[in-house]
Structure 1
Amino acid sequence: MSYLKFDRRLMANLDESTQREYIRTNRKGAYSCSSIVGCNTRKYHGLLVIPVPSLSANNHVLLSSLDLTIIQHGVPFNVGIHEYEGDVFSPKGHKYIREYNVDVVSSTTYRVGGVILEKQFLFCHYINRAITRYTLLEAHSRTTLRLSPFLAFRDVKMLTHRNDQINGDYGVARSGVTFCLYPGYPTLYLQVSKEHEFVSDPHWNEKNEYIKERERGYEYTEDLYVPGYFDVDIEVGESVYFSAGIEEADPASLAQLFDEEVAMRITKDDFRSCLLNAALQFYYRPDATHGYLLAGYPWFGVRARDLFIALPGCTVYADAPERFYRIMDTVLPEVRAFMNQISLSTEIRDINEGDVGLWAIWALQEYARWSTPADMVSRYGDFLNELIHYYLKNIHPNLRIDHTGLCYITGDGKPLSWMDAKINGQAVIPREGYLVEVNALWYNALCFYREVMPSQWTEEMEALLQLVEKSFCNIFINEHGYLFDYVNPHSTRHDWSVRPNMIFATSLPYSPLPKSTRRSVIEIITRELRTPKGLRSLSPKSDGYQPQCHGTQLQREQAYYNGSVWPWLLGPYFEACLKLYGRSAISFIERTLIGMEEELQQHGVGTISELFDGNPPFKGRGAISFAMSVGEILRSLELLKVAKSKYDTQTLPIIRYE
């Protein structure tokens, strides 16, 4: 039985099927993305979306969609679907869908009269090519497939409209045609594996509507250029392949290429295998030597903080240590260049943020836990030593170790942490001064350094560590038993908001807090911030709580960290619970992860969303696939596995994700 399978009832319900999206990437920055019913609902959606660095830093949609029409007895049945002005869907191809599943590749089964046709789609590894395979399972008379490409040739952040600048001429390729609508774009090759007829019928398909953009307050209608269509006959039991790429393919080898690509895929047959596949989608290799993690899809690039937070879960805990090594070999020189004031990375955003180095140390700590401390030191000890002393030298642009021993961050009103929402360049959550998670990371980093490199540890460092522990407790612990989110010593007003950042003072391997305070912190987080999908970014009891993250960009920026639920925070929360409660935390963690497993069939199919609403039903929001979410859930599965082994919980029920 298929694990990720959607039946006729759900596919026919557009309120349901258009809310579920898929993402496929090629590890080179390109992707294919749409709703599972095939109706594009975002400007970021497209069958072939690729980087064109000479035009902009964003991706570009070349092929928006490919409409399929099944023809029998001269009667066409268009099984495509588009939304137009006035909430009109046409054609209504969803009525013909009998099944959709993504266990290996995306597969849609259509039934039109006596015809049963299977459409399978994949995005090739490391080349900008999408291949669709059409297999005729049943038919009682001659059947013809008509394939109509909808072309965009535009930046993902823009929309195109009918214009006179378009170059509608087409060239000839082996068993296909080529297009390049505007100067500066690569040539698009559209090729069919079988003899066919291309009929030139150029026209504009106008006023396609993208409902997600309308909800977000952006321009939401687009005109797409349709140059004509391919007609190809197909026999029962036969497969026909359609290729869209920026290099010419060998039509005779498309079947072999498709099978080879399928063989490389991870079969998505349980929770963990889906997350392993999702983690692989973030892996970005622009060339043969470099490697990165993209922060999410469909609109994020490489972000330093996100990369280090997601790194352990998306690499070593995803059974892919080679990814960890390649990414660290790529990123560490960039961090060193920043520390030595040589250059600022153009590929990795926010590498200059004050807490990035501390998250890098945490990633090394997780690697040491997965491997051994000795292995970590042999590979990355020099870098760890440099990072610790970089902070001790107090030369970071906006972070200082002050007389308290704590990290003090300033930023002229700009975002200074992972809570990076901003309006007009200014932080929505103006956290400045002593940030609780930054200083929890700082204390943990010093302790870890002492543990793995004792020969480098000095009496001055030991005195600093004792000062950090004392100052942390004095500054952050408040009279109500939880921790201030941040403290600005130059302000007489304390912010009493209950936020999740204090979880790191209890979850990290080394905590500056006494056990009684750790217990109190976890109890308050559990009572006010925990949800089935993660931790709220603000307690509903605190001023400014906003339960839903939707609407215009301004509304979303205000809601991101004022109540929205962040699933990546489950990782540290589970870790804190296991440290404090031991065996009794296991069944609770299992139940929560079963709830997260349900999300694989919701917002982003087979993956975990960026965030969720703060109130039930906790709807998925933001990016459909987010590296920190996926990485920390994968790490949580490992934490659970280790805990069950430690406590020998053989009598506990075994659940599907193990």
Structure 2
Amino acid sequence: MEAEIVIPRPWSLTVPWDDKQDEASRELLVSREWLLTNGNGGYASGSLSGVVTRRYHGLLVAALPAPLGRIVMLTQVSEEIRLPGGEIVRLAGQESPGNPLTLDWVNRLIEFRLESGLPVWRYRVGDFILEKRILLPNRQNTVHLTYKLFGGEGTARLRLRPFMHFRPHEGPVDQPMEGPYQITARGNKVEIQPLKKSADGSNMASCPPLRMLPAIGPGALVLDGGSCHDIFYRNEFRRGYEARGEVWTPGYFRFTLQKDQVASLIASTEDWETIVALDPEQAWEAEIERRRRLLCTADPRAREGPAAQLVLAADQFIIAPTTRTADVARAQAAGDELRTVIAGYHWFTDWGRDAMISLEGLTLITGRSTEAGYILRTFSQYIKDGLIPNLFPEGEREGLYHTADATLWYFHALHRYLQYSGDRSTLKILLPKLVDIFQHHVKGTRFGIQVDARDGLLSQGAEGYQLTWMDAKVGDWVVTPRRGKAVEINALWYNALRLLETWVREERGDDEAEEIRHHAEKARSSFNQRFWYEQGQYLFDVVDGERGDDPCLRPNQLLAISLDHPVLEQRYWKPVLDAVARTLLTPVGLRSLAPESPDYKARYDGDLRARDAAYHQGTVWAWLVGPFIDAWLRLYPNDRRTAYGFLEGLIPHLQEAGVGTISEVFDADEPFMPRGCIAQAWSVAEVLRCLVKTEH
């Protein structure tokens, strides 16, 4: 008899706030953001208040084939409802240049929640409750906006005005408008198409049209001549970018609503047949069911509470990329699928390092080992000169390879995948490439990445390149160059050698494994001789660097303990962990540099140069809590309760910044304000992995 499958209840997260009349509390609704993704790299995002504050905000940011990349197709829809007595209520607004932001409509907001990760707003308007839901159907560049009226008597009239500015999502907000726009209306179906190139040379005329359809309820488009509106993007101003830009509207859609009736507007770049295949209510139910299945297949320890929310958040980063159409075709021809990992929203693309660090938390803890295999085989197709790509630039087909650690993390990710899946066939396919990686590193490959034959340690560094995860660069300034023999690079190198030795021994026999074993033994001996910093009782961050051995106290040394094959001798574990915990540990992750350092920066804020100067010079990284907990449990294997305590400060963060997900970084000093991307793959992955690992 088969065991009964218990379907987890839908996870709901409701964001509380204080007295909405209080200006500071109302401002929280502007600073907190929501995010939806569509599984192909596209997304929708905005502030809880409805105010657009970033260049990346939009109700439809479509992921289109190269060279277009991700394009902001629909920036916002303003909502206005006329009550039966004639009162007009606005439910959205914008900040405009020179005019203070008014948030009068926020007083009508009675609830914001994530229902199985999907955003829902409820407003009190007169005697009615108006509920708004937003949905991106999976694998479509489509958004559904659905409104339902509860309570009250009589007929209300809803007016939805779309605003748009077709441009790359990372393009400046002051980029000139793409007019003239061609508007085609057939019945209630509307198509809007830009007719010329962008100011930056990208051909917006090659975009598919934005198709709009009032799908439920008697809706119609009223063209009122088209107009441009100036808005102020406050987050762009804070980050040192141009913050004033125009959006354009062709007119508005009007609906009539009575109690329990629904109005819905669809916007999409898909063909009409795809758009009308499901009405918005059917699409909502299909997506809720898909998300319930995500929870059902996840580790049983991750089906409730904050871990369940992170299972849903993890889904946002796993994509089938639409930009590399030729690669998709080649993978499918071979009976495989192309999958990759978006490193963070809103501005990151897929990065090799981030994908490999995140793989276990995003795909294995969540029961998606098939997709983990797709990701590993996808990246293997791009191996060149013994390296996997560091990243794929927005809208590009070719990757960039300036990384010394992404390839070494690949071994770690593959090992975890094999532990979960037992997929020896993938190992057999990849083994020749893994041996080739080893050989390239021994003899030397690009960017000065090469084993030093004298001590067996891996050195890296080339003028003008940032090759480790501490990779900030402004113009020609590499903020943390770390050229030489970096501590985490050599911990990863040793771990990769031991894993490869085992795989080669199992698949090819002892003789071929012997050379790899010799390199591993030599590297371990040299590591423990060279990296121990006696005066500080921790590890050097870099040895044989441009300025000799670097005693800066950084979290990178944790990998010498935390990986499956720790390179550091056990006698050093406790002093290293004590030094890191005492100086770098915070409630939301680990500082990237000790506060005593003269280069320490307390805040990650300001323009690009100021932010990059702080990026790895104190700024707290949430993902580092993963290696810290792994190291802690290696030293104290029976103390999961204490290890869980290192995560507790991140649980309230699920209701801050990007609601339902985890930010990229935090300020180094209290109150540890969230910064950077509102949703970061390795932050979500490592916290989820450790929540499961420390369950007690």
Look up the SS of the partner of 1:437 in the other structure: helix
Q: Distance in 2 between the 1:419 and 1:489 partners?
A: 15
8 Å CA contact 1:78–1:91 kept in 2: the answer is no
- The CA deviation string for residues 578-631 of structure 1, in whole angstroms up to 9 with x for no partner, is 0101213x1122222222111111111111111111111111110011111111
- The CA deviation string for residues 435-478 of structure 1, in whole angstroms up to 9 with x for no partner, is 10000111111222233432255444333322211211121111
Correspondence for 2:532 among 449, 474, 477: 477
Q: Alpha carbons of 1:344 and 1:131: their partners in 2 closer, same or farther (altered >3 Å)? A: closer
Q: Distance in 1 between the 2:571 and 2:99 partners?
A: 56
Shift of 1:172: 1.1
Q: Distance in 1 between the 2:109 and 2:387 partners?
A: 58
Give the counterpart letter for 1:6 in structure 2.
Answer: V
Correspondence for 2:350 among 302, 315, 334: 302
Give the counterpart letter for 2:436 in structure 1.
Answer: E
- The CA deviation string for residues 512-548 of structure 1, in whole angstroms up to 9 with x for no partner, is 3222211111000000001111110000011211011
Q: Distance in 1 between the 2:431 and 2:174 partners?
A: 55
Q: Which residue of 2 aligns with 1:328?
A: 376
Q: Alpha carbons of 1:269 and 1:606: their partners in 2 closer, same or farther (altered >3 Å)? A: farther
Task: Confirm whether residue 166 of structure 1 aligns to residue 182 of structure 2.
Answer: no
8 Å CA contact 2:385–2:437 kept in 1: the answer is no
Correspondence for 1:29 among 30, 41, 53: 41
Q: Which residue of 2 aligns with 1:62?
A: 73
Q: Alpha carbons of 1:192 and 1:10: their partners in 2 closer, same or farther (altered >3 Å)? A: farther
Give the counterpart letter for 2:165 in structure 1.
Answer: A
Where in structure 2 are there 5+ consecutive unaligned residues? 1-9, 197-204, 296-302, 322-327
Shift of 1:108: 0.5
- The CA deviation string for residues 145-191 of structure 1, in whole angstroms up to 9 with x for no partner, is 11111111122233456968612442114523221234313211111
Q: Which residue of 2 aligns with 1:229?
A: 252
CA RMSD across the alignment: 2.6
- The CA deviation string for residues 292-330 of structure 1, in whole angstroms up to 9 with x for no partner, is 111111111111111111112111122111110111221
Q: Distance in 2 between the 1:615 and 1:542 partners?
A: 14
Q: Which residue of 1 aligns with 2:140?
A: 127
Q: Which residue of 1 aligns with 2:289?
A: 263
Task: Confirm whether residue 354 of structure 1 aligns to residue 404 of structure 2.
Answer: yes
Q: Which residue of 2 aligns with 1:631?
A: 685
- The CA deviation string for residues 50-92 of structure 1, in whole angstroms up to 9 with x for no partner, is 13446644x2211111111111233321111211224522573
Task: Confirm whether residue 468 of structure 1 aligns to residue 523 of structure 2.
Answer: yes
Q: Distance in 2 between the 1:497 and 1:66 partners?
A: 50
8 Å CA contact 1:421–1:557 kept in 2: the answer is yes
- The CA deviation string for residues 206-251 of structure 1, in whole angstroms up to 9 with x for no partner, is 3311111110110001111121111111121111211011133339
Look up the SS of the partner of 1:307 in the other structure: helix
Q: Distance in 2 between the 1:242 and 1:579 partners?
A: 53
Give the counterpart letter for 1:506 in structure 2.
Answer: I
Task: Confirm whether residue 370 of structure 1 aligns to residue 420 of structure 2.
Answer: yes
- The CA deviation string for residues 262-306 of structure 1, in whole angstroms up to 9 with x for no partner, is 322347962111111111111110356311111111111111111
Q: Alpha carbons of 1:638 and 1:373: their partners in 2 closer, same or farther (altered >3 Å)? A: farther
Look up the SS of the partner of 2:165 in the other structure: strand
Shift of 1:396: 4.2
Q: Which residue of 2 aligns with 1:498?
A: 553
Q: Which residue of 2 aligns with 1:606?
A: 660
| TM norm structure 2 | 0.86
Q: Distance in 1 between the 2:625 and 2:668 partners?
A: 14
Correspondence for 1:339 among 370, 383, 386: 386
8 Å CA contact 2:32–2:47 kept in 1: the answer is yes
Shift of 1:374: 5.8
> 1:71-110 to 2 correspondence within 5 Å?
71-72=82-83, 73-86=85-98, 88-90=100-102, 92-104=104-116, 105-110=118-123
Q: Alpha carbons of 1:7 and 1:440: their partners in 2 closer, same or farther (altered >3 Å)? A: closer
> 1:413-452 to 2 correspondence within 5 Å?
413-452=464-503
Q: Alpha carbons of 1:36 and 1:10: their partners in 2 closer, same or farther (altered >3 Å)? A: farther
8 Å CA contact 2:488–2:560 kept in 1: the answer is yes
Q: Alpha carbons of 1:87 and 1:640: their partners in 2 closer, same or farther (altered >3 Å)? A: farther
Look up the SS of the partner of 1:487 in the other structure: strand
Q: Distance in 2 between the 1:452 and 1:11 partners?
A: 60
Q: Distance in 1 between the 2:175 and 2:399 partners?
A: 35
Q: Which residue of 2 aligns with 1:196?
A: 219
Where in structure 1 are there 5+ consecutive unaligned residues? 645-658
Q: Which residue of 1 aligns with 2:309?
A: 274
8 Å CA contact 2:318–2:341 kept in 1: the answer is yes
Q: Which residue of 1 aligns with 2:588?
A: 533
Q: Distance in 1 between the 2:464 and 2:190 partners?
A: 54
Correspondence for 1:217 among 240, 250, 254: 240
8 Å CA contact 2:121–2:133 kept in 1: the answer is yes
Q: Alpha carbons of 1:581 and 1:204: their partners in 2 closer, same or farther (altered >3 Å)? A: same
Task: Confirm whether residue 5 of structure 1 aligns to residue 31 of structure 2.
Answer: no
Give the counterpart letter for 1:362 in structure 2.
Answer: H
8 Å CA contact 2:369–2:417 kept in 1: the answer is no
Q: Alpha carbons of 1:157 and 1:458: their partners in 2 closer, same or farther (altered >3 Å)? A: closer
Shift of 1:340: 9.3
Give the counterpart letter for 1:211 in structure 2.
Answer: R
Look up the SS of the partner of 1:334 in the other structure: coil
Q: Distance in 2 between the 1:371 and 1:387 partners?
A: 23
Q: Distance in 1 between the 2:517 and 2:55 partners?
A: 54
Q: Which moved more, 1:608-617 or 1:9-18?
A: 9-18
Task: Confirm whether residue 151 of structure 1 aligns to residue 164 of structure 2.
Answer: yes
Shift of 1:380: 4.0
Q: Which residue of 2 aligns with 1:137?
A: 150
Shift of 1:347: 4.4
Q: Distance in 1 between the 2:108 and 2:551 partners?
A: 56
Q: Which residue of 2 aligns with 1:250?
A: 276
Q: Which residue of 2 aligns with 1:453?
A: 504
Give the counterpart letter for 1:212 in structure 2.
Answer: N
Q: Which moved more, 1:504-513 or 1:378-387?
A: 378-387
Q: Which residue of 2 aligns with 1:617?
A: 671
Q: Distance in 2 between the 1:371 and 1:514 partners?
A: 31
Q: Which residue of 1 aligns with 2:209?
A: 187
Look up the SS of the partner of 1:80 in the other structure: coil
8 Å CA contact 1:115–1:139 kept in 2: the answer is yes
8 Å CA contact 1:302–1:347 kept in 2: the answer is no
Q: Distance in 2 between the 1:43 and 1:311 partners?
A: 29
8 Å CA contact 2:240–2:608 kept in 1: the answer is yes
Give the counterpart letter for 1:79 in structure 2.
Answer: L
Q: Which moved more, 1:342-351 or 1:505-514?
A: 342-351
Q: Distance in 1 between the 2:265 and 2:390 partners?
A: 45
Look up the SS of the partner of 2:668 in the other structure: coil
Q: Distance in 1 between the 2:471 and 2:212 partners?
A: 42
Q: Distance in 2 between the 1:3 and 1:24 partners?
A: 15
Q: Which moved more, 1:281-290 or 1:307-316?
A: 281-290
Q: Distance in 2 between the 1:279 and 1:363 partners?
A: 16
